[in-house]
Every structure is written in structure tokens, then in C-alpha cells.
Chain A
Amino acid sequence: MTGMPAALEFEKVSKEYGSFASRQSVRALDGFDLRVETGEIFGFLGPNGAGKSTAIHIAMGFMRPTLGQGQMLGRPFGDAAARRRVGFLAENVALYHRRVDRLMCFYGALNRMGGARLGERAREVLRMVGLQDQAKRNAGKFSRGMVQRAGLAQALMNDPELLILDEPTSALDPLARVMVRELILSAREAGKTIFLSSHLLSEVELVCDRVAVLHRGKLVRMGRTSDLLQSTEQTAIVARGITSDAFGGAVSQNGLVTMTVPISNQRSVMQRVWELGGEIVSVNPVRRSLEQVFLEVTADAQPPQPDGGR
């Protein structure tokens, strides 16, 4: 996979926000390195003010890095030709107040789409996000969740190779979240790359191949989602035919006793179960949730700066 060109790559990117009035600066990104491979779903996590949106805005060319550089689809950040192959959904997306089918055509035309295909694609993306019955309605009359769906639709208009989604499900109901999840998974099946920034860790855990955690402008953890969730420290042993009193911290439920023990103690605990006449039902490495991993690596998080979250 590393032989293929990266879909998105940050190379030692730093970004400082200056304040003319106070002559102070805030470092939003600090020597940030990241490589997103083609065809993967990449989860981008971090507490408020960690610099996630800043990184995305630099990639899209909305901001210039103070130091460092990067590439998107093989072109330098900010390249308009590269953006033609990218779909972007901003956090708190804002759209013009007009009929949503015409709005889709407007955004498609900005990406040099035209002809009969434009209207056809507009109908197609509105169907994909479940807004086909609202196509003639003014987006100004939409609820926040519907605006977010329309925002996702405009990001899909050009059938992008790279989809950058900043909090795509924050305003959505559970049904719509499932729909977005399926959209993301089907996009990957079609060979697209998805860069997903979200606070909804359960969503990220479900769909992402790899995850990076950003904290105070620095990358503090990155890896395959399955590897991050796998704890190498502990094992859960489930046994029957014994009582939980024999093992400190064991939990008994429906005749099964569950013990979470360090891997180094696994063999001795299993032998003890057998000595007591019990039977081992299962031995599994303990899996953590992404939330646990997130809390662990951002444990020293301070309250966000007043201008954080940019």
C-alpha cells in the first residue's frame, strides 16, 4: 500500500494563529505529519481545539501553513485542479438559500460539471442522502440535520476520489447516521478514500481502517483501528463450574464466571480453574473501546483555548 501515492499527506506542517491586538500567537499544529493511503477510511480524532479543522482547512487550501507542506491527490495543498477530484463537507456546513436541486447543480457546475449529467447527478446524490422528496424545497427552510445531508450531497456531486468529512454526522438522527455510515462504506468499496474527522468515536470505530489522534497540534497516536482497540496487557477468561469467590475481582453471571487478568497470569489462573474442577469456556484478549483509547492518549487535555476549535 505504501508504494501507491498517498491520497493526503502532511509533511511537518505547523500553523500559528497570530493576534495583532495581543501580539500573542497560538500554535494550532506543530510539526504535523500524516499520510492517508488511497482507498482507506481514515479516522481523524482529537479533543476540541486539537487542530483537526485547521489541518483540514490547510489541506483544502483555505489556510496556508506557517511551516511545512503537503499534498492532496499528488498536488500541493490548495491546488484547484486537485479540489475538482475532492468532496468536502465542512463542520457546521452553510448553504445558500435556494431550491436544493438547483443548489446541487450550482456546486456541481463549480466543479466544471455540465449538461444533462448535472441534473441527473443532482437527483442521484439527493437520493443517496435521502433528500429526494425535498429536492424542490428551499435549503433555507431545512432543519440542521437536513442541511447536513444536503452538505454531504454537495460533497458527493463530483463523484470524488477523496472525501473529506468534518463532523459529518453531528446533527443527524440515528437513522441518518446509519445511512452516512453505509455511504462511507460503499464509497470505500468503490475505491474512494475517506478522511473522516469526528467526535462520534463509536462511528469511527465501526467504519475506519486506520485512526489518528491529534492532541495540541501534535499526532499522539496512529494505527490500524483493530490494533489500537486490542489490549496486549489483559485477557478475559470465562469459566463455569466454579464460584467467583475463588478469584478476586471475578464476576459471576448466569453460571459463568468472568475474570480479567494480566496475560502473564493467564496460565496460572486457567490451571487454578481446572484444579477447582471448573471448565474454561473462552479465553480472549480484552478489547478496549476507541473512547478508552482516546481518553488515555488525551488524558492531559486542558480546557480548549478561547480560539480553539478552528
Chain B
Amino acid sequence: MLLIAFNFVREQRWPIFVLLLWVLLLAFLGLVADIPRMREDLLFLFKQVAVYVVAFSIFFGGSAIYNERKSRRILAVLSKAVRREQYLSGLVLGVTTACAIYCFALGLTGSWTLGAAGFPVSQVWFLMVCLVAACMLAGTVALMFSTFLNPFLAAGATALMLGVPWIASQTVAAGWGYVIPVSALTNTVLKSTFKVPGHNEWFPVGLAVLETLAFWAVAARIFSRVDIAVAVE
């Protein structure tokens, strides 16, 4: 599982590198800007750069199996003593690690720039934990759909699945945001301000971990019945 996860991160090193350029931008602004005066702009940029990674986790998760099947590299991997569920676990861990690398870099930069502007550094890291949990769940949902759909449809289905609870939380009741807590976790990041940097609410983080396990189990069940040597389309 660790081998497959490490291999996934290695194969995705260029997209991860491109993502990290956004963090570099924030770091650059931290160097040249008058931090106390521009702190609201920096926080806005921090939040914007932070939520990109959730979209990328869907991209990573939705395309992982497809890319491996299309290149036929999956055959050499699954011809070894690797069970399908182990393979999927490796991919979930790989997607989470890829996003965690980004979040770690963003956390470091955020601690420096926002910390200097008065934002609690511990809260920056809590927000990063929320982001990693959101990415892990979003990536796993995308991975589940990608076991039987092509990446575009898998991304669409994932957006729908994550979007419906979010819409319901906005229109019906806030509790709907916890059905699939990606939106709840993302909102924790987006709604943080210098005055109210957010509450350390661990419930959605724990829920995201549990739901990740549930979606992984469903994905493993579906994937065990899929003919992987046949073209996806």
C-alpha cells in the first residue's frame, strides 16, 4: 500500500509542483507586502489558494485509475501479490499524501505570513488538517466513481455528490453540510477571519475519516468486479 501511494505521488510530482507555485506566490507576497496593512488581502489569497487543493484532490482521485489503465501500467502492478482493495488503499493514501504535501507547504507559508499579521498559528495548522481531511474524502469519492466512469464523468458525479449536501446546507438546514462533510470542512477554512479564526471543531474531521473508509469499502467492492484490461470508455 505504501509503495503504491509513494509511486502515485512520484507519478504526480509535476502537478504537485505546479500547485506549489501558488504557495510560492503567497510566500512572495509575504516578502514584498506590508503585512499588517495588507493582512485582509493575504488572508483572502490564503483561503483562495487553500481551497484549490480540494478541486485538485478530485482531479487526482478521478484520474488515478484511468491513467494507469490507459497506460497499461496497472497490469504490471496488479500481476503482483497486490489485491484490488490494497491497490485502492494505496491510491487513497497517495491522493491524501499529494494534497498533504501542498497543505504542509501552505501551512508553513500561512504560519509565516498570517502569523505575522496576527492570525493564530495553531489555527492555521488546524485549517490545514481540515483541508487534508476534505481532500482525502473528496479524492476517495472521486476514486470510487472512477472505478466505473471515465475521469470527466467521475469528476462531475463527485461534484454532484459533494455539492448537493452543500446546497441543502445553504437552503434547508446547516446540518446537511455534515452529510458529506467536505463542504463543512471547506467552509471552516473559507469563513475564518482575523476576528474569528474559526473553532477547533474536530467532529467533521472525524466524520470525514469515517466516510473515507466507507467510500473506500464501496470503491473496493465495485473495483473487485471491474475488468481492468478493457478500455474504460
Contact = CB atoms under 8 A, between A and B. Distances in A.
B160 to A, nearest CB: 20
Interface stretch (A93-101, A232-240, A263-271): A93-101
Interface in B59-105: 71-73, 75-83, 86
A63 interface: yes
B228 A90 contact: no
Contacts of A62: 75, 78, 227-229
A96 B81 contact: no
Contact-size category for B: 20 to 34
B72 A94 contact: yes
Pick from A80, A111, A112 the residue with the most CB of B within 10 Å.
A80
A151 B75 CA distance: 11
A95 B79 CA distance: 13
A90 B225 contact: no
A151 to B, nearest CB: 7
B122 interface: no
Contact of B7 (A53, A60, A96, A112): A96
Contacts of A94: 71-73, 75-76
A145 interface: no
Interface residues of A, number: 32
A57 B226 CA distance: 12
Contacts of A195: none
Nearest to B77: A110
Interface in A92-126: 92-96, 98, 106-107, 109-112
Contact of A83 (B7, B11, B72, B81): B81
Contacts of B4: 110
Contact of A93 (B3, B76, B80, B83): B76
B80 A84 contact: yes
Nearest to B73: A94
Contacts of A92: 72
A107 B73 contact: no
Contact of B72 (A81, A90, A112): A90
Interface in A144-180: 151, 154-155, 158
B78 A90 contact: no
Contact of B230 (A17, A90, A93, A110): A17
A136 interface: no
Contacts of B230: 17, 63, 310
Contacts of B82: 80, 83, 110
Nearest to A86: B79
A64 interface: yes
B105 to A, nearest CB: 24
B76 A64 contact: no
B165 to A, nearest CB: 29
Interface in B185-233: 225, 227-230
Contacts of B73: 94-96
B81 A110 contact: yes
Contact of A61 (B72, B76, B78): B78
Question: Which interface residue of A60, A96, A155 has the most chain B CB atoms within 10 A?
Answer: A96
Given A62-B75, A95-B76, A154-B76, A80 B227 contact: no
A98 B75 CA distance: 17
A80 B81 CA distance: 5
A77 to B, nearest CB: 13
B80 A111 contact: yes
Contacts of A155: 79
Nearest to B79: A88
30 contacts: A17-B230, A57-B229, A60-B75, A61-B78, A62-B228, A63-B227, A63-B228, A64-B225, A80-B81, A81-B81, A84-B80, A86-B79, A88-B79, A90-B75, A90-B79, A93-B75, A94-B71, A94-B72, A94-B73, A94-B75, A96-B7, A106-B3, A107-B76, A107-B80, A110-B4, A110-B77, A110-B81, A111-B81, A112-B81, A310-B230
Those 8 A-B pairs whose CB atoms lie nearest each other, nearest first: A84-B81, A110-B80, A88-B79, A63-B227, A94-B72, A62-B229, A57-B229, A90-B75
Interface of B: 3-4, 7, 10-11, 71-73, 75-83, 86, 225, 227-230
Interface of A: 17, 53, 57, 60-64, 80-81, 83-84, 86, 88, 90, 92-96, 98, 106-107, 109-112, 151, 154-155, 158, 310
Given A88-B79, A310-B230, 11 more contacts: A57-B229, A62-B78, A62-B227, A63-B230, A64-B225, A86-B79, A88-B75, A95-B76, A110-B82, A112-B81, A151-B76
